[in-house]
Chain A
């Protein structure tokens, strides 16, 4: 079983739609959680951290369910510029981060 599992997609949505991505992780000892965004042929960039109480950053909302070892990302009012791959990331041992394989989002006009 992979340490971080995500639906690869692609999710094809129209502009203005709300879309949600989920991921599950296997290590119950993980303490830190993030969503990264990766554009085609570019490096991953931090989108947002994920906190236990849930957190919001503009159109983006992240939720964490430690009991179920489940993380979600909600994007409201999708823009064309949101088209990218979204990587679910959890902490592993020794200060390293474990990356999921990503969920691809394509927003169309």
Chain B
């Protein structure tokens, strides 16, 4: 596609529920990244995919967080048993091979846990 697409754009969920966030990267981009941004804070790295494998998942905050990527394209970030501190904007970015020319971000999913 023309840009990185994320869905849903907004998600309100009750504490304890599971949520799935989806990212559709730019066609042909092999690298995909998930970040999150809490209100007034900087971007926090979560996980990096090259193709379907994740060589760096060091930023996932707990075992409630998991992510997968299939077909070298779409990625889903799953948060199990959501907590209020999970509330943030979850941003996906993609690039061709690596970060050499910077990333292109999607418009994010704003997650609110109530």
Contacts and interface: CB of A to CB of B under 8 A. Distances in A.
Interface of A: 32, 34, 36, 42-46, 49, 87, 89, 91-102
Interface in B39-78: 41-43, 45, 48, 50, 55-56
B42 A87 contact: yes
A5 to B, nearest CB: 10
Contacts of A89: 102
A49 B98 CA distance: 14
B102 A46 contact: yes
A93 to B, nearest CB: 7
Given A95-B50, A96-B33, A99-B42, A43 B107 contact: yes
Interface in B99-113: 99-108
Contacts of A46: 101-104
A101 B42 contact: yes
B102 A100 contact: no
Interface string B1-45: 000000000000000000000000000000101010000011101
A40 B43 CA distance: 14
B79 interface: no
A65 to B, nearest CB: 21
A97 B41 CA distance: 16
Given A94-B55, A94-B56, A95-B99, A45 B105 contact: yes
B91 A43 contact: yes
Interface in B76-99: 91, 98-99
Given A43-B91, A87-B43, A97 B103 contact: yes
B106 A32 contact: no
Contacts of A100: 42
Contacts of B56: 93-96
Given A43-B107, A45-B105, A96 B42 contact: no
A98 B31 CA distance: 16
B41 A101 contact: yes
